[in-house]
Amino acid sequence: TIGMDTRRDALAPCGQRVRELRGNTCSICSWLHSLKIWSLLKTRGDSHSRYEHDKPYEVKFDEHWIAEDTDWHLRYSESTKNLSPFTTIIELNRLRVHITSAELAELKTHLREVYAKFLVRGATIYVNGDELTAIEFDDEWSYPPSLFPTQFSISVPIENRIVEAEILSGLINHPGDPDKSYGVFLYCNNRLIARALTDFAVGFSAGLVGNPHYNISLVRTIVQIKGQSRDMPWDSSKSGINTRHPVFQALRQAIIDATKRYSQVSRSLQGKWDAAVFPYNTGHIVQEQMDAIKGIPRSYLPTPPASKLRRHQKIVAANKSVITEKPWAAGLLDSVLAADTVSKLALVQKNRIALIILDSTVEIAYKEYLVNESGIGARRFKEIADNRADVQQEITKHEKIDAGDIKKINHFYKLRCDLIHQRATPNVLDAQIEDYRNIVEKLLKVLFGIDLS
């Protein structure tokens, strides 16, 4: 026996109330079907309802009424039960099988989740005399700095009607994979229609949110849609999404956008959740108003932190103090990193390009050193600036450079000139690029203190 007191959320006068009774009954039947025992039940049921202080009425139903009857003009009559005002009772009788205590507990959980929004607003539900409490999913957020949950409010126009939607997405305070509590939750008119969706309908696939996986199990998106019943994207039993419904189609991209950004955050912080996410249990929800429904602008969403610094990022970070002190050396650092990147590309002439970059780096490094660090004066620099050999000789007066490296620098300089001025293109080997790169690395270390290791 299931009893409902909707004292603060009375659904409607009797005619509409009977239609809601059918919806509530279908919700219970969908639960029975999920237990795979519906076909084993010989079901007869009675629904009794008393709207406010009116007379109580009843609807009698059987399996044909639930599964096959498409006529919404239901017959109802005055109930003989002594019901308190604002009360609905649904009775299922003549069951062929015994419902175990575990299955009864599952039913209670189902009702606590599906009708949670009504329960917190004052409605009460009893199952075999036990009053149920709400299970909500919007009270388990974490609030890492700059990664607070974000709620987007959107209006969807349909003909002369407006459907209001809210999309709330963020990181929860526990891994949601073990208890299947991450993904997308969808409410229609305060009723939970879909729980913890992680399928393609809401973007859980490669290239969108990502495939369902433990490393994104902190992401949760709660979608609340309110409007007329015909505008709700629920299926006929109100226990799933009608993905073809125009309202869902209008909101789908926004749902994916919000969920994807927080899934990226979850993935990037995986392995650091205990320190970077879970300790932050206080904060607020960021509110955003959306004018359009095509998608959520990236500027409204948090930027996922990098999960691991790439090699060039590590090198730049390691030389931050050097570049701050010697800003003229910044371009030299970038040039070597650019040569590294080019060397990894699938280009026929990648070594030719890399050689030109590296040798240009040497020439510029010489001049930057003489202008900014040697103190030779503008007149002396002008006298030698157009002659590579003179510039290099002047460098050796100020810094000790290995003679073997000087010979190789001259060799690669000649090779670079051949590349530029000769008709035939000399062949540049991978080993040569690696060798010259090592020489440039040592040179920049000597001249400026740049560390490229």
Domain coordinates in residue numbering, the chain: 2-131, 150-300, 311-448
Q: So what's the pLDDT on residue 194?
A: 95
Q: Which phi and psi (to 5°) does residue 292 adopt?
A: -115, 165
* Residue 58 structure tokens: 């009843």
Positions in the chain short of pLDDT 70: 1-44, 63, 65-67, 69, 71-74, 93-97, 291-309, 423-426
Q: So what's the pLDDT on residue 94?
A: 65
pTM of the model: 0.60
Four-CA torsion 395, 396, 398, 400, nearest 10 degrees: 130
Q: So what's the pLDDT on residue 88?
A: 85
The contacts found for 365-371 with CB under 8 angstroms, 24 or more apart, are 365/332, 365/440, 365/443, 365/444, 365/447, 365/448, 366/391, 366/392, 366/395, 367/391, 368/328, 368/329, 368/332, 368/448, 369/395, 369/398, 369/399, 369/447, 369/448, 370/394, 370/395, 371/328
CA distances from 281 to 144, 232, 259, 304 (A): 8, 33, 20, 19
Q: So what's the pLDDT on residue 18?
A: 40
Q: So what's the pLDDT on residue 420?
A: 81
CA distance 205 to 28: 31
